[in-house]
Chain A
Amino acid sequence: MSSTGENAPKEFVYPVEVEKLDVGYPEQRVLLEKISFKVAPGEIVGLLGPSGCGKSTLLRHLVGLEPIKSGQIRLFGQDLWAGGGVHIDSLRRKFGIMYQGGALFGNLNLIENVAMPLKEFSNLPQGAIMVAARLKLSLVGLEGFEHHLPSSLSGGMQKRAAIARALSLEPKLLFLDEPSAGLDPVTSAGLDGLIVTLARNLNLAFVIVTHELGSIMTTIDRAILFDKEKKGIVAEGTPDFLANHSETLEAKAFFRRGSNNSRTTHA
């Protein structure tokens, strides 16, 4: 009933709309003040900023884990915090999330971890679910580890398995908290490639918190740079623009640190 023109070619809702949101924990100082941004379908948005500036907290707000104090979050056009728990739950099925620490279910093996959302929320036959889960695990380079428990894997492998699980329902929106931290450059590049493929071909929107300059430059369409002191967004744009043309001090610092590093490794 909301659509004005049934055959409008490119009508879409924004997967994420954030308006004048205060980020922070109750009874503590606000970490980020009145921030606003939008994420379009198929867009890969990077949330950048110094450690402790509140990126993970912002993600917790976005996925409905941490109540917000003021402002508004709309996912797919719906106000996340307007309704009660049931409302949030129904919205939650529309996105996937990978937590900073992986957060795999320790008592399930990898394939069961990845298959679980499909088992819970779809009517697919068991065999097809298993193939789908195997496919997701292979995508993140974990074929052969289907029957391992998370605890018997390395940190990077757990991370990749967590991404596979976030992909389980192939939601149109994925939140990834530091997906490539702790991964070797090759795996990390493979992961970046996967993210781009999914975004371009399935129109998945990604909101990625990351510090990896390599991933930032190759994957991200639009970077949003937060700052701890200014408690807000200090720069926004393509990584290329922020790295080479932005006059913002924080952006220069953030991206120059990377070039410094590469110089020192070169020497």
Chain B
Amino acid sequence: MPLPLAINKPLELTFTADDTVALQGDLDATVPAKVWDKLLKRPASASSASIAPSKSLTLDLSGLTVLDLNGAAQLLWLKSIFEKKEMTVSIKDVPENFSPIWDLACRTLAPRAPLPSKDTLIETVGHHFSDFFKDMTALIAFLGEVIANFILLIPHPLKVRWKTTLAITEKAVVNALPVTALVAFLVGLILAFQAAMFMKLFGVDIFVADLVGLSIIRELGTLLTAIVLTGRSGSAFSAELGAMKINQEIDAFLTMGLSPTRDLALPRVIALTLATPLLTILADFAGLLGGNVVMITRGYPVSVFWTELSGHLSTSDLGTGLFKSLVFGFTVAAIGCQRGLATGSGPGAVGEATTKGVVTNIVVLATLDSVFAVLFYVLNW
């Protein structure tokens, strides 16, 4: 580059006497690579030449054309390296115009502060473990807080932010209709198709209707809806509240005497809890439709599918599915909100909170679903 300021005289080292090195050129960030290697490797070569390695080194700066803070830092770095090898380094003939900079650098750079020691493996494991428990405690406490807030508001139903709740219902649930229906339809289709291939061998492919119906209504419709909502709304809640936390909006909320749990989380939780069962019914229907399509291609009239289904499905099947979806809607929204409100600081924090929310939600969904499976089996529902 033909820029006047870029005209630099690359730094050169001249070994004048045994322990004196003259530096010529620009001593700044433009110092070429490997210049210092010559100097750092020198004592080794001196000792290999079986001369007693010199215990002192003098750097002659009189030939410098530029010395800035980066240059001074390099000198200080050299000094610290040589001092570790128990050599003394002296700097001489600092050009007059650079001496304020050199003095400033020497004055400023305090002795190296000790680095924070790294944790041992056991400490790391311990920290993670205790973090996990703190995390879980916070989560459970928050769920309790949401429920408490809800109960407190029951006598004053007008204090619930219904407008916000409705807006959230629309955004989180109504807009999720197409994707939920599509996923459920395809899962029903695939399930029926796979089952039909196998059951055909035994000539019982009429039972595909029952298989699809039971799995969709008791398990899959509910679970699929919950997972779609986790990805679509739970994560959005985490991100929204996380961004508010980062912008200190949550702090502003608190200092105004408002409650983030009551005014931000509760509308979201109510919206999702009430609407998830409705969405689940749609998902169930779409899934059954998928199964029905496969049956039709196998030559069964439409009515056969539904008759077969109604013979083997009871209201308790539908009831368990919907009950679960109510619980799932609650946990998806509450966990999403909690993760958002617990966002740390820094630019990655919102992303981290969102990821954490989704992961926690999926783990909780799977766990709860298994618990319900056992529970319903024992209760014989």
Contacts and interface: CB of A to CB of B under 8 A. Distances in A.
Interface of A: 1-3, 11-13, 76-78, 90, 94, 106-107, 118, 121-125, 127-128, 130-132, 134-136, 138-139, 143-144, 146-147, 149-152, 167, 169-170, 172, 197, 200-202
A249 to B, nearest CB: 39
B307 interface: no
Nearest to B28: A170
Most chain-B CB neighbours within 10 Å: which of A94, A124, A130, A144? Answer: A124
Contact of B74 (A131, A147, A149): A131
B346 interface: yes
B105 A135 contact: yes
A132 B100 contact: no
Interface string B21-38: 000000011111110100
Contacts of A132: 69-70, 73-74, 77
Contact of A201 (B1, B81, B97, B348): B97
Given A77-B4, A167-B69, A170-B69, A131 B31 contact: no
B379 interface: no
A135 B73 contact: yes
Given A170-B69, A197-B100, A13 B109 contact: no
B70 A124 contact: yes
Interface stretch (B110-118, B127-135, B143-151, B271-279): B110-118
B4 A76 contact: yes
Interface of B: 1-6, 28-34, 36, 68-70, 72-74, 76-78, 80-81, 97-98, 100-101, 104-105, 108-110, 112-113, 115-116, 344-349
Contacts of B349: 151
26 contacts: A2-B2, A77-B3, A77-B4, A90-B1, A107-B347, A107-B348, A123-B33, A124-B29, A124-B70, A124-B74, A128-B74, A128-B78, A130-B77, A131-B73, A131-B80, A131-B109, A134-B112, A135-B105, A135-B109, A139-B108, A143-B110, A147-B115, A150-B346, A151-B345, A151-B349, A197-B101
Nearest to B30: A122
A138 B97 contact: no
B348 A118 contact: no
A94 B29 contact: no
Contact of B104 (A121, A122, A197): A197
B6 to A, nearest CB: 8
Closest 9 CB pairs of A and B: A132-B73, A123-B33, A106-B347, A151-B346, A151-B345, A131-B77, A128-B77, A122-B29, A131-B73
B100 A138 contact: no
Contacts of A123: 31-34
A30 B100 CA distance: 44
A138 B29 CA distance: 18
Contacts of A121: 29
B288 to A, nearest CB: 48
Nearest to A123: B33
Contacts of A2: 2
B113 A106 contact: no
A127 B4 contact: no
B29 A170 contact: yes
Most chain-A CB neighbours within 10 Å: which of B6, B70, B80? Answer: B70
A170 B110 CA distance: 20
Nearest to B347: A106
A121 B30 CA distance: 9
A112 to B, nearest CB: 13
Contacts of A143: 110, 113
Contacts of B81: 127
A106 B2 contact: no
A172 B70 CA distance: 13
Contacts of A128: 36, 73-74, 77-78
B5 A172 contact: yes
